[in-house]
């Protein structure tokens, strides 16, 4: 049995915050606002897993009113979503994710993002695809007001093992 989940996450860019995407701190004059570290890519991936399981959304599991999550590294949220996935007897098929950001360029950081995500998920990097695109000066992404990340995940029910 397969289950598909998808999610989008948006965070505004603001002064005085670090830019963390996919668990990578990227040098930039602005960072992502948020209760946690604001890592939109991690949030979209975690929520796509939660959604594939039919378990609601990210805010249900990690509310922004809970001080335990203030400033938390969002890779921990991805790990928690992966634990939930395994507890429901599912395993990751693959993830396809997109970061929409005008600048800085994401290409130099994508391999490290994939490595961070694979570690948090307990999977092989080959199961994760991360890509990025610009807003081409259009909309809030193009005006450098915010970042959008999207993720699609495929989960597969683990096969029961027969005991001899």
Q: Which residues participate in the annotated binding site?
A: 9-11, 35-36, 43, 57-59, 62-66, 101-107, 143
Separation of alpha carbons 12 and 123, rounded Å: 30
Q: Which two tokens stand for residue 18?
A: 């670090």
Sheet holding 2-14, edge to edge: 31-32, 2-14, 146-157, 90-100, 128-133
Helix axis angle for 110-121 and 75-87, nearest 10°, is 40
A 10 A CB-CB count for 141 gives: 21
Is the bond preceding 35 in cis, omega lying within 30 degrees of 0?
A: no
Annotated binding site for a divalent metal cation: 9, 11, 43
User: Minimal CA–CA distance to 54: which of 161, 160, 164, 155?
Assistant: 155
With the C-alpha atoms ordered 72, 95, 47, 78, is the resulting torsion angle positive or negative? negative
Report how far Cα 118 is from the mean position of its chain's Cα atoms: 11
């Amino acid at each position: 049995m397969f289950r598909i989940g998808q999610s989008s996450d948006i965070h505004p860019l603001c002064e005085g915050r670090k830019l963390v995407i996919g668990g990578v701190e990227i040098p930039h004059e602005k960072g992502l606002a948020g209760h946690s570290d604001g890592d939109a890519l991690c949030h979209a991936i975690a929520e796509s897993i939660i959604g594939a399981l039919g378990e609601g959304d990210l805010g249900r599991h990690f509310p922004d009113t809970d001080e335990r999550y203030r400033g938390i590294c969002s890779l921990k949220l991805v790990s928690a979503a992966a634990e939930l996935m395994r507890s429901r007897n599912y395993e990751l098929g693959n993830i396809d994710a997109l970061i929409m950001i005008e600048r800085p360029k994401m290409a130099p950081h994508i391999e490290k993002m994939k490595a961070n995500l694979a570690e948090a998920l307990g999977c092989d990097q080959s199961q994760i695809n991360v890509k990025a695109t610009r807003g081409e000066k259009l909309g809030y992404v193009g005006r450098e007001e915010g970042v959008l990340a999207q993720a699609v995940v495929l989960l597969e029910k683990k096969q029961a093992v027969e005991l001899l």
